Structure 1
Amino acid sequence: MLSSWLPKWLEKAWLLASAEHGQDSVSTLDLLLALWQDDALRGALQSGAPALARQDAGRLSGAYAALRQHGGEAAGGEQPSAAADEGEGEAPAAPQGKRGGAALDKYTIDLTAQAKAGKIDPILGRDVEIRQMIDILMRRRQNNPILTGEPGVGKTAVVEGLARKIVLGEVPPVLSGVTLRTLDLGLLQAGASVKGEFENRLRQVIDEVKASPVPIILFIDEAHTLIGAGGAAGQNDAANLLKPALARGELRTIAATTWAEYKKYFEKDAALARRFQVVKVEEPAPEIAVQMVRGLTDAMAKHHKVEILNEAVAAAVQLSSRYIAGRQLPDKAISVLDTACARVALSRAGKPGPIEDVTVLIDNIDRETAALEREEGHAERIAELQAQRAELEQDLAALHQAWEAQQKLIEEIDELKAAKDEAKPAKGRKLSPLQAKRKELRELQKHQPLAFECVDESVIADVIAGWTGIPLGRMVSNELEQVQKLAKLLAERVIGQDHALEQIAERVQIAKANLEDPGKPKGVFLLVGPSGVGKTETALALAEALYGGERNLITINMSEYQEAHSVSGLKGSPPGYVGYGEGGVLTEAVRRKPYSVVLLDEVEKAHPDVLELFFQVFDKGVLEDSEGREVDFKNTIILLTSNAGTELVMRACEHGVTVEDETRDPTAEDLVEILRPTLQKTFKPAFLGRLTIVPYFPISDDVLRAIVGLKLDKIRRRIADNHGAQVEFPEELAEQMAARCLDVDSGARNADAILTRTLLAQISNDLLSRMASGKPVKKIAVALKGEQVKVKVS
């Protein structure tokens, strides 16, 4: 039978060893000390071993400390000496130059030691933030900076930069020789399941920082986790343990957290917030981000054993900033560049992914064919699989040929790089042999890179294309060329509104040439005209031409904001209201996609107070959300659409305008003057004065026929992509469909409804019948018999 005192004895010994002494095991000394310190256990000991119970607990505690300092039982199991037992001796002094105690070594990481060992990468572009930290750390009281910023902007890197400056001696004398340590909250909390254990560990760290002969600055990353850390009901949390030392200046701390977490946790605790001085770490501008990433290229190139060209660094920043949403610079640019280095290194050692993918498809076909051959009645499917296999074999052969050609060029480039004298162009040549070979390799890799010689712009674009799904060719195309031919690109999708497209293209070109105010959006346009004439299609075409696809179109239906209080839906709910902290529809969308087209649809239906929100956006290119964060609109194009004055436009285009007793068709300028009185009644003059008014004409019969033709082309491509079938439309089909669009008010939208009702309904019925019977679809023929549309699927 075990004594009922045994569980209590073991629990007390474990608390002494772990919580008070910071040990990971229970020794004989802990067991003895637990007996002498607990009155109940000592009373039970009195009856069984009175001589042991009479020992003095204070002297035994001193002997315990001496033994622990000399290694305790692990050092050879030596027992307390007589001198120690009588308290005649003192514990030996700590060795000179020792920078941390047991708790510091266990729960913190020495950043200055890592910097001295060269384990911290160079930190560029954050000199201002580091200087702000140094100013705060040199104060006598409340000398604790807290870095706030979005994840990925480099808050931890700023502290690492300070550690490097301390090691290099680039700090004031007050901070020279200081040790910078990172407090690992995970280690503090690990295994601290017993009540009070976490607090005791943190107290040990604080006490050792105070007692250290070398000044120590603690860095606490994700500092918001301190709020409530270790604190159960009725207990102090970690933050309350730090407050007194922080207020008196006994403990210097650098904290880091996101802006949202700071507002959520620190601002609610005024006593804690006033002990810290905020240092904002903003997302760097692209030019600064390039410098930051460039500082890491040597380490990356050494790790991956690849060459990184300067153009790759610029492309990593530029393309990631434009196409990767939800992450911040420089973090996303570093991730892209690191992935590109890994991809180049991998391409030198293994088969390219496209070749492996085609090989897997061929293997799958072989397995399915083998399974079908063991059964009967699958001759048609087997023949189809064999035809697919033959096509894949051709594709595989072409891929192998392209891969071999690219590898051969890479080998030649490597040879040229080894020959130093080939690095410069010969007389009369603009390019050196090395540059010429690289240019030739890029031409081969333009559409499908299979092997890489170095990390260049095409590799970066290939990585981002894989992450985002945006076609590679669209990313590497010259943006300036896109802007120069913008009107032509828009006219391929928007028919019959050339004047509007030219006006929009001119303003975008002016902004792209840096002749407009850089603090404003790239363009703010009010598109006015009847419904269904191409206003929304213009927004889609702009997103496709300038920002990589329709996914970068942000559409806000302004008819949902007819009340003054609904402005909170755009920028976020204010503090204390439901939804605070979740962000606004507009601000969150633009924050995630700063390079985008913003479409404010049916803007005349919004409340005037809601429209006043956009004054700051139109003037300064920024909007502050409900949490105090600035959202950047400087890289957006803002389009507002309105149907105000539609009747005036329709009447003017139908009857013409009279100028100097002469009636003629209205021009775009005439429509603006006709619409201006109506627009001034609908919108405030201050709002209209910030916009470029772009009128849209009603659709003529010829334009409608062209639009229907474009829609038929889209249907043809959709069927080819989804079913692999060819579609034949008669030439007169577009004209007949356009003739049925009798609803003038709905414009080209009526054509969609007619095509769906008359054409797509029949095609879908026949397609579903073929699919249900398992028959392949190879061709769809559409014919006209009078006014009837006939469809034949084969």
Structure 2
Amino acid sequence: MSETLFSHKLTFHARHSMKEARDIARYTRSRSVEPEHLLLAIFMEHGSLGNSLLQGMGFEKEKLAKLCLRKKSRGKTLPATDTIAPSDTLKEIMKRAYAIANQFHFPYVGTEHLVYALIESEHPILDEIFITLEIDEKKIEATLASHMNFEHFPELSKMFDMPETLGPKAKPRDTGDLATLRQYAIDLSHPKHQRNQILFGREAELGRVIQILLRKHKSNPLLLGEPGVGKTALVTKLAEKILSGDVPEQLLGKRIFALDLALVVAGTNFRGEFEARLKDIIREASEHPDVILFIDEIHTIVGAGNTSGGLDAANILKPALARGDIQCIGATTFTEYKRHIEKDPALERRFQSVFIEEPSPETSKAMLRAAKPAYEAFHGVSFPDNLISLVVDLSVRHISDRFLPDKALDIIDEAATLAKQSGSTTSKNRSRAKLEQELKHVIDLKESLIQKEAYDEAAKWHNQAKALEKKLGKLKEHADTPKENIPVVTLEQVLVTLSRISNIPLEKLRSENPKERLERLRKALARHVIGQSEALDTVENVLLRSLSNIHDPRRPLGSFLFLGPTGVGKTLVANVLAQEFFGDQKALIRLDMSEFMERHSVAQILGAPAGYVGYGEGGKLTEQVRRKPYAIVLFDEIEKAHPDVFNILLQILDEGQLTDAEGRKVSFRNTLIVLTSNVGTEIFTKDTRFGFAKEGALENLIEKRESVLANLKKEMRPELLARLDHTVIFQPLDKVAVQKIVKNELKRFVSRLKEKGITLSIAPAVPRFLAEKSFSKEQGARLVRKILEEHVEKPVAIALIERPAAKKLRLEVSNDSIMCR
């Protein structure tokens, strides 16, 4: 709009509102843009301060549009867009908006200034709109004060008279009541924000914070600690102590305001807006020495509000902190402190660090006991004392990426909700609601019969209503009895909660009989893994310690090196353990070490370092273990890995955890570590006469095992071998073992056909024939699958194609081949 005055000063929303006002004028067949058109356009400008102001005053879209659009010209043609100009009245209003912005040093004219100018104008149509919508001056003043942050509101009222139609003048607002701070911060010292914060074991840290606040210079504490250790709780407790007077005399009467930096930044689209808000906050805090600012996640002030050419919050705060005009308490984590605060020495030196360490398990148990009554009162449940210690111990063992007491409190909180949901009170409430609904239906029916003068029938329903009322009264009486049917949190509910938080299967958390689990595991291994009884015994002995909970809780559940020729069952054992020990075939995390032969590829295990492609995406190993902490980790063909992989393994086996590229600790304490290798096992397949047991075979096997172990020590680092629970040697398969494997595969094939309604019988000579064909000292059992496809599945497939209706088939050996009849 070429006629728009001061267009270079208008904000984007203001310019767009003027354009929309012109479109509204054209729609109403008006020859000029009137104030009511602009009022409606600003109301429709979502995301602008003007829109927020009008909504806060009580304007409604439908009513406002109806009033602004009701007067249309009788002209039949729409005026051309470029011929519509602002009316003289609107030009005056825009001049006043510019004057308001200029008077109070705003570098722009925004929709909020246009709204103020529209409101104080004496335009009759606008006055009529305000009266019709019942918008009073007090609501306008309160809304302008809160949204526009106008501590100068009374001066504006003097400068421009408010319309008489809006009612009597309001008294000037008191500007000394910390209006800006109350808008952008929460007064933690106010009684309504008191939560009776339980603080146990933090007396030293709280005393240190008080000591720093009493200093003459640099009296700004900075709380440093991991997420969930209680930094914010410490400040909340300090506010409570100040309110109760349990602090040194110098702190009496102090008020702690928790600044919401996101609220300060919100809506500041143009240069100068954010700085103006923050300076007002600093001014109010400096004018009131009893104010202490608290900035949680204080690292966010670095860069906050830094639009093009503007200052960020840190640079605005630094001068005030340096002069001692304000006192500030900050809180952040070690990682964010190092990343943001430490890199700005001028900001860092304004604060005194107070380290908030993670409490010990014993201290956490005391904290939980102190917090327990508050959770019981909130949820209306009872939490047994004997579960407190268990909750802490379980959280320490199974939730490694979070910190005490936060993770333990989360378990208590969620377990209490489970108890409340499943408690008898819930079912009784349902019964009560059902009775009330039934009673209402009976009463309605009775009244309907009375109106129809069917008094005899109505009397029957009256008696039924009395019976229902009596039953309902008993239910209410029981519900009002103190301590009646209060749900009690159970161990099962704690375990369910822990399972959901940690992603560990519930069955593995329950106290199942270790003997039964071991027996089930032993049978599964024997059923699937053939010819490796000695190796399986070794694995079972290690897992027995884990099942009985006597293993070192700081290390993985077990660690093995499976050594043997190819095709003897090393990887198969890992698959069976995933299914039977961890309860899920997907609980197998497999890393092929041939992918980590180069030094640069080792970084993929922990994640790419900062500055490299893939940083922030996590490591191939660490991310999978974080998502599935209860799993078996298989390092396949470990001899192919780069030596740096062994350093990672040493950390896992020694400490039970890894630190990824982003500094997060990943726990391996609920995993089984399995390494597989073929190192030195060529001795098993060299100059050996395989077959059924022969004299001297045992002595020969022992010699070969010792030779394999000797070769292993040359190839693998001794410190790695020393940290493994066992090196398990898988011996080569003999013909008896291969024949058993063949029979197992044939059973699976018969079962598949049976599901399709086909019965397959097998002659006794078939398994022996297949075993002879499948036996290979180089490939082990890997050849079995290929031989079955060629000699069993192929003839059956041909038979089914030739005889589609066949339901019974038989395999027989004939002329050194298998025939399907």
TM-score of the aligned structures, taking structure 1 as reference length = 0.64
Is 2:253–2:290's contact at 8 Å kept on the other side of the alignment? yes
Q: Deviations over 1:552-599 (max 9, x none)?
A: 332222222222333322223333333334333233333444443322
Aligned to 1:77: 169
Pairing of 1:370-381 with structure 2 (within 5 A):
none
Q: CA deviation at 1:234?
A: 1.8
Q: Is the 2:578–2:632 Cα contact (8 Å) retained in structure 1?
A: yes
Q: Of 717, 723, 737, which aligns to 1:684?
A: 717
Does the residue aligned with 2:634 lie in a helix, a strand or coil? strand
Distance 1:781 1:574, change over 3 A: farther
**In the TM superposition, what are the counterparts of 1:267-286 in structure 2 within 5 Å?**
269=344, 271-272=346-347, 275=350
Q: 1:109 aligns with which of 169, 178, 186?
A: 186
1:582 to 610, 617, 624: 617
- Are the counterparts in 2 of residues 300 and 341 from structure 1 also a CA contact under 8 Å? no
Instruction: Please point out which of 558, 577, 602 is paired with 1:523.
Output: 558
**2:780 aligned residue:** 747
Q: Which amino acid in the other structure matches residue 169 of structure 2?
A: G
- Matched to 1:196, the amino acid is G
Q: CA offset at residue 640 of structure 1?
A: 1.3
Larger Rg: 2
Change (3 A) 1:698 1:347: farther
Structure 1's 702 and 142: CA in aligned 2 closer, same or farther, altered over 3 A? farther
SS of alignment partner, residue 774 of structure 2: coil
1:608 matched to 2:647? The reply is no
Structure 2 residue corresponding to 1:625, chosen from 639, 660, 684: 660
Note if contact 2:556-2:656 (Cα within 8 Å) is conserved in structure 1: yes
Aligned twin of 1:233: 308
**Distance across 1 between alignment mates of 2:394 and 2:752:** 29
CA contact (8 A) 1:123 1:160 kept: no
Q: 1:565 to 1:93 in 2, by over 3 A?
A: closer
SS of match in other structure, 2:778: coil
2:598 maps to what in 1?
563
Distance 2:772 2:501 in 1: 45
When residues 694 and 668 of structure 1 are mapped into structure 2, their CA distance, relative to the original with a 3 A threshold, is farther
Pair 1:174–1:693, CA change in 2 (3 A): farther
1:189 equivalent among 265, 283, 291: 265
Task: Report the CA distance shift for 1:634/1:133 in structure 2 as closer, same or farther (over 3 A).
Answer: farther
Secondary structure of 2:531's counterpart equals: coil
Mapped partners of 1:484, 1:137: distance in 2: 60
Distance 1:758 1:625, change over 3 A: same
Aligned AA (1:683): M
Shift of 1:188: 1.4
2:811 maps to 1:784: yes
Residue 348 (str. 1) matches residue 440 (str. 2): no
Is the 8 Å Cα contact of residues 122 and 296 (structure 1) preserved in structure 2? yes
Q: How much is the aligned-residue C-alpha RMSD, in angstroms?
A: 5.7
Greater mean deviation of Cα atoms: 181-190 or 752-761:
752-761
1:523–1:323 CA distance, 2 compared to 1 (3 A):
closer
For structure 2, list consecutive stretches of 5 or more residues without a partner in the other structure. Answer: 15-46, 58-92, 109-149, 431-473
Q: Which residue of 1 aligns with 2:733?
A: 699
Separation in 2 of the partners of 1:208 and 1:39?
19
Q: Secondary structure at the match of 2:279?
A: helix
Q: Deviations over 1:80-106 (max 9, x none)?
A: 9xxxxxxxxxx9895xxxxx6111111
Secondary structure of the corresponding residue to residue 258 of structure 2: strand
Residue identity opposite 2:319 in structure 1 = P
- 3-state SS of paired residue (2:613): coil
In the alignment, the residues of structure 1 paired with residue 751 and residue 367 of structure 2 have an alpha-carbon distance, to the nearest angstrom, of: 45
Gaps of 5+ in 1: 42-60, 81-90, 95-99, 353-410, 424-433, 435-451, 657-661
1:582 maps to amino acid: E
Asked if structure 1 preserves the Cα contact closer than 8 Å seen for 2:591 and 2:634, the reply is yes
Is the Cα–Cα contact under 8 Å of residues 19 and 197 in structure 1 kept in the other structure? Answer: no
| Contact 1:144–1:253 (Cα < 8 Å) also in 2 | yes
Q: For the residues of structure 2 that align with 1:506 and 1:487, how far apart are their CA atoms?
A: 10
TM-score of the superposed pair, with normalisation by structure 2: 0.62
The residue aligned with 2:708 is: 675
Matches within 5 A, 1:758-769: none
Per-residue deviation at 1:530? Answer: 1.3
The letter of the residue matching 1:195 is R
Instruction: Tell me how many residue pairs correspond in the alignment.
Output: 645
Q: How does 1:27-106 map to 2 (within 5 A)?
A: 33-34=100-101, 36=103, 76-77=168-169, 94=176, 101-106=178-183
Contact (CA 8 Å) 1:599, 1:640: kept in 2 or not? yes
Which residues in structure 2 correspond to 1:286-435 (within 5 Å)?
298-309=373-384, 329-330=407-408, 333=411, 336-337=414-415, 340-341=418-419, 343-344=421-422, 348-349=426-427
State how far apart, in whole Å, the 1-side matches of 2:420 and 2:668 are. Answer: 34
- Structure 1 distance, partners of 2:537, 2:234, is 47
Distance 1:112 1:541, change over 3 A: farther
- CA distance 1:159–1:763, shift in 2 (3 Å): farther
Q: Partners in 2 of 1:711 and 1:264 — Cα distance?
A: 58
Report the Cα distance in structure 1 between the residues aligned to 2:426 and 2:800, rounded to whole angstroms. Answer: 46
Letter in 1 for 2:536: L
Counterpart residue type for residue 241 of structure 1? I
Structure-1 residue corresponding to 2:115:
none
**Counterparts of 1:739 and 1:340 in 2: how far apart (Å)?**
60
Match of 2:584 among 531, 549, 561: 549
Kindly state the Cα deviation for residue 664 of structure 1 after the two structures are TM-superposed.
4.3
Tell me which residue corresponds to 2:281.
Answer: 205
Instruction: Return the offset for 1:644.
Output: 0.5
> Secondary structure of the residue that 1:689 maps to in structure 2?
helix
2:684 and 2:720 mapped to 1: Cα distance? 22
Mapped partners of 1:596, 1:527: distance in 2 = 17
2:799–2:820 CA contact under 8 A, matched in 1: no
Maintained 8 Å contact 1:574/1:580: yes
Aligned-pair distance for 1:642? 0.7
Amino acid corresponding to residue 781 of structure 2 in structure 1 = A
Identity rate, percent:
35
On the 8 A contact 2:587/2:631 being kept in 1, the answer is: yes
Distance apart, 1:679 and its partner CA: 0.9
State whether residues 146 and 276 of structure 1, in contact with CA within 8 Å, keep that contact through their aligned partners in structure 2: no
Residue 457 of structure 1 aligns with which residue? Answer: 491
Q: Tell me, yes or no, if the aligned pair for 1:668 and 1:695 is still in contact at 8 Å.
A: no
Query: Do the aligned partners of residues 306 and 615 (structure 1) sit closer, same or farther apart at CA in structure 2, a change above 3 Å counting?
Result: closer
Q: CA separation of 1:462/1:34 partners in 2, compared to 1, >3 Å: closer, same or farther?
A: closer
Q: Contact 1:528/1:693 (CA < 8 Å) preserved in 2? A: yes
1:492 and 1:287 map into 2 onto residues whose CA distance is: 46
- Contact (CA 8 Å) 2:232, 2:331: kept in 1 or not? yes
Asked if structure 2 preserves the Cα contact closer than 8 Å seen for 1:311 and 1:456, the reply is no
CA contact (8 A) 2:568 2:733 kept: yes
Hey, what's the Cα distance between the residues in 2 that align with 1:667 and 1:314?
Answer: 55
Match of 2:608 in 1: 573
1:219-239 deviations in Å (ceiling 9; x for gaps): 324x44433322112211223
**Aligned mates of 1:474, 1:690 — CA distance in 2:** 25
Q: Residue 388 of structure 1 corresponds to which residue in structure 2?
A: none
Q: Structure 1 residues 686, 300: closer, same or farther in 2, change over 3 A?
A: closer
Structure 1 equivalent of residue 510 of structure 2? 476
Does structure 1 conserve the Cα–Cα contact (< 8 Å) formed by 2:411 and 2:498? no
Cα displacement string for residues 97-123 of structure 1 (whole angstroms, at most 9, x for unaligned residues): xxx6111111112334368643x6646
Counterparts of 1:24 and 1:157 in 2: how far apart (Å)? 35
Aligned in 2, Cα 1:641/1:34: closer, same or farther, shift over 3 Å? closer
Residues 144 and 753 (structure 1), Cα distance of their counterparts in 2 relative to 1, 3 Å cut: farther
